[in-house]
A and B are shown apart, each in its own frame.
Chain A
């Protein structure tokens, strides 16, 4: 069971690394402590409020003009702009 979960995490792609045109499904939200100004729990809540939830389909539809950052993500009928650093917390497959 645990092994299978680890396996699943192995196959995931973080949304922060996804290029334009990427399509996938959210596996889990994993904000790491110290990776942003907000506490992981708060970051997780904000991501859920923007519509990111396990199982939802996401696609990267635009990239920022400088350094391909931030990204515009289509999620559950809305479009959300995120910085790649913050999108790292969203694991997809």
Chain B
């Protein structure tokens, strides 16, 4: 039977991997497939699709679909809906499923056993995998797999995904099941369970556990001992702050050498391209348009990877759920969940991954609010602009205790971003959702686990790829458009000043100038804002083009700015950058993640309005006190 299948090149066996969040499903998936994974999106929804290929020792070819974690098939979020639709065979973009594998955490059998019973009614063959059996044994929990299998009426195997030897029983079982021929999809006996059904299933799970599992006398687990400190009302927030501080240190200080190296590499490529290509338009397009534009974004890769390394490790450890617990009340003031903390934290590196990680929020409106305020968090692209403007307008003196005034202003700008984000969320709640009651918070606090290096590296690799793909598409296109705007039409012969002053960008700048002069912006600033739409940091390059600064680095530019602008103008521009939606790729991601252009325009509109109002106030306040 098997040989025939192999000889005729019959397609591989498709396995759907199902399990509750935190059951170790993904580490089992990684152990089965190695790095042999394809990550994409399910069509029409922003749910990550992961398919991995594997071969059993018996030579069976497998395609394993890692479905989003789910508590039941009731499908309460887009993620869970995808899981349900694939299992029920409604959605075909993961292929026809031949076999379901439900992964159960050996130390928390209860939710998994309930889910396994629900899945047993689908009509597809089902294998129950009791994962992390080593941890359970270590804790003295004994599970009689034979009894469990008889009670469930399903085949049950144990596994330890983190050790090769721990996978043997699973492989043997898969070979046996596939070798004897998997039955086709049978009659579907599943319907959405009512509260009474769920209750009955959970009772049955409890009965099975009482029957087949021996739990030792309870003693304080390592998790409880750690939680006694980490979840302490005083020590907890202090530790959270310390971790965040460490993270920012690593992101901003630790990434600098790597970023410098990348920037040098980009410069090298630009110089090489300039040498190869003949002078003229093509060279300008490639060097100033494509390489400069994409390069200015790629240099942020180290920061994004370091931030994600922290987030992945904290997530794997089980700490993120604790952070959400500790922050819930503060986020609650703004009408948000503790869960919104994670996307907002990611947004300090870049709003794009932050907006994407808002997928963990199951309530639609809360998720939307989080997406809309994420761009207000101070992303790393603002840093070059802040550094330039602070250098030009804030005197480098200490205010005592070794605290520098410039550093303090930088910190203030970060705080302003956070406060603004929470204030916008709060205002939105007051305006549109005043009488709504908050969505419930139900957060599983999993046991702490040591993160697996393989999982973290794989996660980083996949995120890095996604970032580079975006840099190669959206940002590439935007860079070219902006290059065209700031290059054409050419300056007339014998014209004075930099060529950009005669371009479309300059025309747009002059057009914008009357609108932006009330907030103190010169027309040169308006011109620089046009290329700055692609990405905030490009405005720095824009300003140096406009003021025709050749070489000399930021120092020379800062001096020029200080000479040309009043203090009020400088402050106004700094304030503008706290709020203004100056990043096309963020707006594109908002559009994709919310599934509508409407929310993208709303985000753009409110941020421009805020930026304008705040800059107006700042400009006139500084003028009034004689700046």
Contact = CB atoms under 8 A, between A and B. Distances in A.
A53 B203 contact: yes
B198 interface: yes
Interface of B: 71-72, 74, 76, 107-111, 114, 193-195, 198-199, 202-203, 206, 224, 227, 231, 233-234, 236-237, 321, 324-326, 328-330, 332, 338, 363, 436-446
A37 B440 contact: yes
Size class of A's contact patch? 35 or more
A20 to B, nearest CB: 9
A49 interface: yes
A84 B276 CA distance: 67
Contacts of A64: 233, 325-326, 328-329
Interface of A: 35-38, 41, 43-51, 53-54, 56, 61-70, 72, 76-83, 85-86
A35 B437 CA distance: 8
A34 to B, nearest CB: 8
B231 A50 contact: no
Contact of B445 (A51, A53, A72, A77): A72
Given A46-B440, A49-B71, A82-B441, A66 B199 contact: no
11 contacts: A45-B194, A50-B71, A54-B199, A56-B206, A64-B326, A68-B233, A81-B441, A83-B440, A85-B440, A86-B440, A86-B442
A51 B202 contact: yes
B199 A53 contact: yes
Contacts of A45: 74, 193-195, 198
Nearest to B235: A65
Contact of B440 (A41, A43, A77): A43
A49 B111 contact: yes
Nearest to B71: A49
Contact of B438 (A61, A77, A83): A83
A77 B110 contact: yes
Contacts of A79: 444-446
B206 A76 contact: yes
B203 A66 contact: no
B603 to A, nearest CB: 24
Given A35-B437, A70-B328, A51 B442 contact: no
B111 A51 contact: yes
A45 B234 CA distance: 34
Contacts of A65: 233-234, 236-237, 326, 329
